[in-house]
Structure 1
Amino acid sequence: VVTAIFDNGQVRPIYRLPLIDFVNPNGLTPVDGNAFQLSSEAGSYYMWDAGVGPAGEVSSSSLENSTVDIAEEFSNMIITQRAYSSNAKIIQTADEMLQELTNLKR
């Protein structure tokens, strides 16, 4: 429930926030950023009040915490890049060895 606090101190609920559950959420069409659009692949949808049903709940006054650790992912990227470079060097060396073997055969 979205609650309004007025200048005179009065507190009043003004809106119930619905949550939508789709039969196939992967069928939604991405629009921009984190926004999605209904498509026929998404199938039918069910509307629930927040905190009721399988759709979950909304936490007020909370910040979203990303599940990605930037430092760890950057380290993983460097490790992957080094592994790629090493593998490229191995392929280059094997190619040179095969080329030399071909030259010896002639």
Structure 2
Amino acid sequence: MIKLYLSIFLASLACALITTPIIRKIALKWGVVDRPSARKIHIEPIPLFGGLSIAFAFLLVFSLFGSFNIELLSVLFASLMIIAVGVWDDVKSIPPFLKLFAQISACWLVI
């Protein structure tokens, strides 16, 4: 069992380490960055889309090691909803109410 958990950890770590620089370059190229302002402490633009690296790692591990039953598929679909809303919010800021609605909807899918 420990070998399975170690394999899952290493696969997700490798995927995140590989995809993070790629996604960072894409975000910079597309201009999807958080710009400095008076309310922020960073002085250079920070690339967004960081959650995509974690999402790719999750999807990779899920597809390699997951058993496809209805409960797990509902978690997958809810996760995809959260990922989509996060990317949408990175590209074009969306109202907090809409983000909250999407998160509650995703929770209801799992429940």
Fold-level match, TM-score > 0.5?
no
More strand by share: 1
Query: Structure with the greater relative contact order (CA < 8 A, sep ≥ 6): 1 or 2?
Result: 2
TM-score by length of 1: 0.24
More helix by share: 2
Normalised by the length of structure 2, the TM-score is: 0.23
